[in-house]
Homo-oligomer: A and B are copies of this chain.
């Protein structure tokens, strides 16, 4: 079967590109003596998690306990869960947290199941989402964790989700980040707290991770496929975008417009955060077409710049703004090499919202 034979909308992944992305970041991490713990929220597919693990690093990251269960059932053995939840008993589980309340809840849950949970204390590095704000708060929480039964303090974590500058323009932010990490590291060491893991790293900062002194591990997720946001921030090239959504033109009754059979329920309505916030995807083969709006099941293309608008039934392939949100809309994705479909993978962790 080829891509041309798939019903649309369909998510297709170029395996050659994906494999190159996986190899490339793994090689970078080995070169710089960093661990790589890919965030599997991007795909939620055990088969792809296994491909990432086979690149040389045993650990993965998940957002939800439901996702952890899916991954553990598929044999993934070292999971960093970023949020509180039930305990996985079949694999090594580390949890990132920022409050005593959550630590106490986890300790109680681990006692019930007779297991031990690794804990990373999270600190904020400027995104203002999660994470303690000061070194003293970090030390206080780490000391609390050390005293709680069934918990093992493994280190500290952060998420530099606010850094969206192009890779070669990240210098000042990376220096600030290093200072922040150093402050936290020194405070934990000065208090005799274990800090073998310093976990950070996003896709936009992935290949600059060696510039953040003290870092031992990164948790990049999007790098496996890349998307329009990664492109927009200059963190990948077009040929590193492994995933596209194949769609079909279904109407051009309105002049200057073409309507495709995928909208917010195929792409998500996530914006182009690394660009001008406009448009819902990039159509590399037809850069003059603007993907201007999404309804639930329709994509609205502005084709006024074309001399000859696309015909009804014509297929287009589109790189979504945010690939993690896009994959999450689909029951399955298709792996292909040069257009020949090699495998159909269920998005097994999808809908595991708890």
A175 within 8 A of B: no
Contact pattern, A 276-320, Cβ under 8 Å of B = 1, otherwise 0 = 000000000000000000011110100000000001110000000
Question: Does A37 count as interface, using CB distance less than 8 angstroms?
Answer: no
Q: Which one of B63, B252, B330 contacts A351 once the chains associate, using CB atoms below 8 Å?
A: B330
Asked if A312 and B99 make an inter-chain contact with CB atoms under 8 angstroms apart, the answer reads yes
B-chain residues with CB within 8 Å of residue A69 when the two chains form the complex: none
Q: How many copies of this chain are found per oligomer?
A: 2
A58 within 8 A of B: no
Instruction: Collect the chain B residues with CB atoms within 8 Å of residue A181's CB.
Output: none
Q: For residues 313 through 338 of chain A, which have their beta carbon under 8 Å from a beta carbon of chain B?
A: 313, 324-325, 328-331
Question: Could you say which of A7, A129, A298 has the most chain B C-beta atoms within 10 Å of its C-beta?
Answer: A129
A8, A9, A300, A354 interface centre (most CB from chain B within 10 Å): A354
- Contact between B300 and A129, CB atoms less than 8 A apart: yes
Subset of 6 A-B contacts with CB under 8 Å: A10-B354, A99-B312, A101-B313, A105-B313, A129-B295, A350-B351
A102 within 8 A of B: yes
A234 to chain B, nearest CB (A): 22
Measured in the bound complex, the distance between the Cα atoms of B251 and A352 in whole Å is 21
A270 to B269, CA, bound (A): 6
* Interface check A187, CB cutoff 8 A: no
User: Which residues of the other chain, B, contact A84 by a CB distance below 8 angstroms?
Assistant: 250
Q: Which stretch of A190-198, A204-212, A260-268 is in the interface?
A: A260-268
A259 at the interface (CB under 8 A from B): yes
Specify which of A124, A270, A324 lies most central, judged by the most chain B CB atoms within 10 Å of its CB.
A270
Smallest CB–CB gap between A123 and chain B, Å? 9
Give the distance to chain B from A354, nearest Cβ to Cβ, in Å. Answer: 4
Residues on B with C-beta less than 8 A from A133 are 253-255
User: With A255-B133, A351-B331 known to touch, is A296 a contact of B325 (CB < 8 Å)?
Assistant: yes
Query: Which residues on the B side are within 8 Å of A161 (C-beta)?
Result: 295
Is A23 in the interface zone, CB < 8 Å from B? no
Would B351 and A83 count as touching, CB distance under 8 A? no
The residue on B at minimum CB distance from A354 is B7
Residues of B close to A9: CB separation below 8 A:
353-354
Could you tell me the distance in whole angstroms from the C-beta of A125 to the nearest C-beta in chain B? 12
Of A83, A128, A133, A253, chain B has the most CB atoms within 10 Å of the CB of A253
